[in-house]
Amino acid sequence: MKYERIRNLREDRDWTQKRVGEAINVPQRTYAYYESGERMILPHVLCALADLYHVSVDYLLGRTNKKHL
């Protein structure tokens, strides 16, 4: 599964993968693997990304188009 929404949210803010990785406490390379779908996002990381971007986990997973609950 490729996580396009996390890439889009990051790019919309002109943030680097390194910046997001630092914000959610994962190495840049690991975050890059998440964006490309080479690694599944762990639940606690998914929650950290949702908090960082102020969106729902369901939005990040593509289960809804509503960003907020």
What is the set of domains in the chain, with CATH numbers?
A: 4-60 (1.10.260.40)
The per-residue pLDDT for 53 is 96
CA 63 – CA 57 distance, rounded (Å): 9
Answer whether residue 33 shows pLDDT above 80. yes
CA 51 – CA 54 distance, rounded (Å): 5
The per-residue pLDDT for 45 is 97
For residue range 3-22, what is the model confidence (pLDDT) as tens digits? 899 999 999 999 999 999 99
CB 59 within 8 A of CB 2: no
CA 58 – CA 41 distance, rounded (Å): 13
Predicted structure pTM score: 0.92
CB under 8 Å, gap of 24 or more: what pairs does 38-47 form? 40/1, 41/3, 41/6
